[in-house]
Chain A
Amino acid sequence: MSTANRSMFWRVIRRSLFANRGRLLVILLALGAGAAVTAALLNLQIDAKRRINSEFRAFGANVVIVPGPDPQRNWPATLPESLVQTAAAAAGENAEVSGLLYTIGIVEVRKLHGELPVDPKMISQAVIAGYSSRDFSRLYPHRVVEVSQPLGYDDRLCYVGEKAARQLKINARDSLNILRQNMETGDDCFVQEIDSFGGTEDGQIFIPLRAAQRIAGLPGAVSSVALRLPGDSREVQQAVQRLQSQIPGADVRPLRQFAEGEAQLYEKISGALTATIVVVLFLTALCVMAAMTNVAMERKNDVGLMKALGGSVRRVLRLFLAEAALLGLAAGLLGAALGILLSIALGKAVFGVPAAPRAIVYPVSVALTVIVAVLAAYPLRRLAQIRPASVFRGEE
């Protein structure tokens, strides 16, 4: 195409675009709205994955490491405590990790202010769980039933499950003396919280790992390591494989209960969002198509004239397609930007955190809008069949 031809091409387009401002506005509005909704939902879809991930982290530990099959069948099967560090290093920075050692101890309750317990023989067995890191309270989601003021004994705090507290009449701020069976002296700890877990943890008393190891007579041992790994189910699965290869003797188990729930839920949400995007784009196309049909009828004379002056069908069609693409581009650029802004606000409304705008969303939604605009110009195909002579005679 020569320079003169090109400048003529753009001049025709400019003229025909602004020939009917009302219709131009209608088409731009429809395409822009389509682009905005597409961009907003696409962005939300990507963001929802991350958000649902982090919501699901509220379910607590998603991986546990337990002793592997032991040919000697030692009891109790334990893991070396050093494994907690290994696992924490392998799991990465954002993971929460705690080693746990379970044993059975004898619990003596010493009430606050030294008053005697109701029953002086209130001594009972309970499951003692030693924790190596305070992360454990996030690994086992719970509701705090009773909490004490900060006690200042950071290395001697214990957390008592609701059921154990009720059975042994323990309150926050009491102190406990926990002994090993058949031993005289035990470990002291101060009850920081009474917690309701809704699982077997409700019957347990969480104390620092060192104390639990003394009570169990198992220095340097843990029964299991609980981890909460960030990321979606695929990333967790990869981390599990990495952990398993670094810790050959142990059994790394992902907790399928939550991983599967998460994957299923995301699938549904993603499906709903995709369906909405498709439907909205289809709608946009239809709306533009209705407007383009009118364009086709109105431009009969112009096209007849162009053909009479020697314009080939291809060039004429190219003119109209360029017009449609230009409209799509303009509406897409503007609408998609608006849509991304919208999705930030929507993300805040839904998840309480503004959705992070993704760079990829913008070009994708602009491209989709242009494609829809060009496809919607389909009715213009009829212009190819126009015969100039009959148009000028006013026959068609």
Chain B
Amino acid sequence: MFLRLIADNFARRPRRKLLTAAALSLGMAVATAALSVSLDVGDRLAREFRSLGANLVVTPESDSLPLEINGVDYRPANSGAYLAESDLPKIKSIYWRNNIIAFAPTLEISAQAWSPASRNFSSPGVASRVIVIGTWSGHDVPLADGSSFATSVEKTNPWWRVSGSWFQENAQECVVGARFAGQNGVQVGDTLNLSADGKTWKALSVRGVLATGGNEDDAVLVPLGLAQQLADKPGQYRKLYLSALTKPEDDFARRDPKSMTPDELERWSCSPYVSSIAYSIKQVLPGSDVRVVRRVAEGEGRVLSRVRVLLGLVAVAALLAAALAVGASSAASVLERRNEIGLMKALGAGSATVGLLLVAEQSLLALVGGCLGYSLGLILARILGTRIFGVPPEPSLLVLGVILALAAAVTLLGSAIPLRRAANYDPAPILRGE
């Protein structure tokens, strides 16, 4: 009889039940979407932030003090130390290898340049001085496990814009800085001759013009191997830019690892703080000095933690609104049943029986609405995640559990107040229509 009453109720008023269920499942869909996006968004945001570029810079440790002004190093070409390119694959073998998004070594040399097509100089005799930066573009680093890691300077410096295309590795090609190109009348497709010593020249074809807003605008970028040949430093580089996903630093992260107890050291090195990643990179690159680019790392950490809190709060707001809406509609659905309740009581049903019946109905509604809402919410989360953050969030079972519990709690809570009043109804006036 009990079950028949419930079944009857659903069958008799499909339209009303449908609307309540729709409100419930949509509310839960919103809650699901908000939860999945906000649970998943942390990593996404950190990745987004890597568009600020490299947050770690590696230089040789025993290097003499760099005499670098506006990107030009005034040390004699042979002074100072270099690092070995062959050590670079080891970076992808550290504990935090999956946090390393990209790295690119550079070798800067001072050279002379002339272009037959340029307006300003017509023969090698009046070549202009230029900084040549050797680096990686579209480079595959072979790893120890046989796979390879694709990285490039565009990934460590994502704000660089090239009109034309990047140079190919192993080709006699280059990319020129925008200011250099403007001053010397060099265009894409021209040939540019470069020489470090003024005697042997290399003819490179210009593939693109690079705008960075920095010193690179005055430079010429070539494949690293080519720069090594020009500088006569085979297999060596001088600076490595590295972009890593990190956890915002707190006071604990800033402590000196040498002063920590073993327990603390373990906790420290098991958190992806930028300083602990720097520390483990230093371990695998002999003779290197790994520095944190404070400008990027600290600003990033601060903004990141704030935005995370903000998105968390937005999720809570959406959750609250969904809970309220669902609660309100289930309250409304109980309110509409005054007549029925009056009739049931007139026929001898106790308050407990009536309450139980309504609770069972609402729970069924919550279960159906919650499940429906969860699947709807996953679609919504996919759409929102893709539109806003570029990648859809992963569906999680945790969210399903939370949603079902929330749906049940909110529906029952929403119906509790009208239910209590319904239990106290006096059947006579209701049946009389008063």
A253 and B317 contact, Cβ closer than 8 Å, known pairs A261-B49, A294-B332:
no
Say yes or no: A198 contacts B294, CB within 8 Å.
yes
Note all chain A residues with C-beta closer than 8 A to B15. Answer: 293
Q: How many residues of A contact B (CB 8 A)?
A: 83
Given contacts A26-B332, A287-B329, contact A198 B292 (CB under 8 A): yes
**From residue A166, how far is it (CB to closest CB) to chain B in Å?**
9
Pair A199/B212 contact, Cβ less than 8 Å? no
A39 to chain B, nearest CB (A): 11
Residue A367 at the chain B interface, CB threshold 8 Å: no
A164 and B384 within 8 A (CB): no
9-residue interface stretch from A80-88, A123-131, A321-329: A123-131
Bitwise interface map of A from 179 to 208 toward B, beta carbon under 8 Å scored 1, else 0: 000000000000000001111101100000
How far does the Cβ of B398 sit from chain A's closest Cβ, in whole Å?
A: 21
Question: Are the CB atoms of A349 and B69 closer together than 8 Å?
Answer: no
Evaluate contact between A56 and B299: CB separation under 8 angstroms.
yes
A254 to B325 Cα, complex, angstroms: 48
Which residues of A lie under 8 Å from residue B52 when comparing CB positions? 59, 257-258, 261
B353 to chain A, nearest CB (A): 22
Cβ-defined partner of A125 (8 Å) among B67, B291, B310: B67
Digitize A39-79: 1 where CB-to-B-CB distance is under 8 Å, 0 elsewhere: 01100100010011001101110000010010001001000
* B298 sits at the interface (CB 8 A): yes
Given the known inter-chain contacts A26-B331, A280-B318, please indicate yes or no for A269 contacting B310, CB distance below 8 A. yes
Task: With CB as the reference atom, state the residue of chain A lying closest to B299.
Answer: A59
Q: How far is the CA of A233 from the CA of B134 in the complex (A)?
A: 32
Asked if A313 is an interface residue, CB under 8 A from chain B, the answer is no
Q: What mask results when residues 30 to 72 of chain B are scored 1 for a CB within 8 Å of chain A, else 0?
A: 1001100100000001001101110001000000111111100
Residues from chain A with Cβ under 8 Å of B51 in the complex:
260-261, 264
Number of A-B residue pairs at CB separation under 8 A: 231
A69 touches B329 (CB 8 A): no
Q: A30-B324, A223-B69, A290-B329 are in contact. Are A280 and B159 (CB under 8 A)?
A: no
A-side contacts of B317, CB under 8 Å: 37, 40-41, 276, 280
CB distance from A32 to the nearest CB of B (A): 9
A104 to B65, CA, bound (A): 11
Q: Tell me the complex Cα distance, A55–B74, Å.
A: 36
Query: Is A173 close to B, CB under 8 A?
Result: no
Cross-interface CB contact of A20 among B23, B303, B335, cutoff 8 Å: B335
B389 at interface, CB cutoff 8 A: yes
Q: Considering the chains assembled together, what is the distance between the CA atoms of A261 and B20 in angstroms?
A: 44
Contacts of A380 in B (CB 8 A): none
Residue B392 lies at the interface, judged by CB distance under 8 Å to chain A: no
Q: A30-B328, A290-B20 are in contact. Are A265 and B297 (CB under 8 A)?
A: no
CB distance from A38 to the nearest CB of B (A): 9
CA distance A254 to B179 in the complex (A): 14
* Interface residue? B255 (CB, 8 A): no
Q: Which of B254-309 contact A (CB under 8 A)?
A: 254, 289, 291-299, 302-303, 306-307, 309
Answer whether residue B313 sits at the interface, using C-beta atoms and an 8 A cutoff: yes
Contact status A283-B325, CB under 8 Å = yes
Q: Cα distance A73–B37 when bound, in Å?
A: 55
Q: From residue A83, how far is it (CB to closest CB) to chain B in Å?
A: 17
Instruction: Return the contact of B23 from the options A103, A168, A286, A294 (Cβ within 8 A).
Output: A286
Pick the residue among A168, A199, A223, A255 that contacts B57 (CB under 8 A). Answer: A199
Contact at A200–B299, with CB atoms within 8 Å? no
Looking at A69, A127, A255, A280, which has the most chain B CB atoms within 10 Å of its CB?
A: A280
Whether A29 and B324, one on each chain, are in contact in the complex, defined by CB atoms closer than 8 angstroms, is yes
A255 nearest in chain B by CB position: B213
Could you tell me the distance in whole angstroms from the C-beta of A75 to the nearest C-beta in chain B?
9
Nearest-neighbour CB distance to chain A for B178, whole angstroms, equals 11
Asked if A58 contacts B335 (CB within 8 A), the reply is no
> Does the CB pair B328–A280 fall under 8 Å?
no
Q: Tell me if B388 is interfacial: C-beta within 8 Å of chain A.
A: yes
Q: Mark A373-386, 1 if CB is under 8 A from B, else 0.
A: 00000000000000
- Assess whether B310 is in contact with A286, with CB atoms less than 8 Å apart: no
The 8 Å CB contact of B65, one of A55, A163, A199, A275, is: A163
Residue of B nearest to A70 (CB): B183
Q: Which residues of B contact A (CB under 8 A)?
A: 15-16, 19-20, 22-23, 26-27, 30, 33-34, 37, 45, 48-49, 51-53, 57, 64-70, 74, 128, 157, 159, 179, 182-183, 212-214, 254, 289, 291-299, 302-303, 306-307, 309-311, 313-314, 317-318, 320-322, 324-326, 328-329, 331-333, 335-336, 380, 384, 387-389, 418, 421
Given contacts A269-B310, A271-B388, 5 further A-B contacts (CB under 8 A): A40-B317, A58-B303, A69-B183, A268-B48, A291-B328
| Pairs across A and B, CB under 8 Å, 13 listed | A29-B324, A30-B328, A33-B321, A41-B314, A76-B69, A197-B294, A199-B294, A260-B51, A265-B307, A268-B45, A276-B317, A283-B26, A293-B15
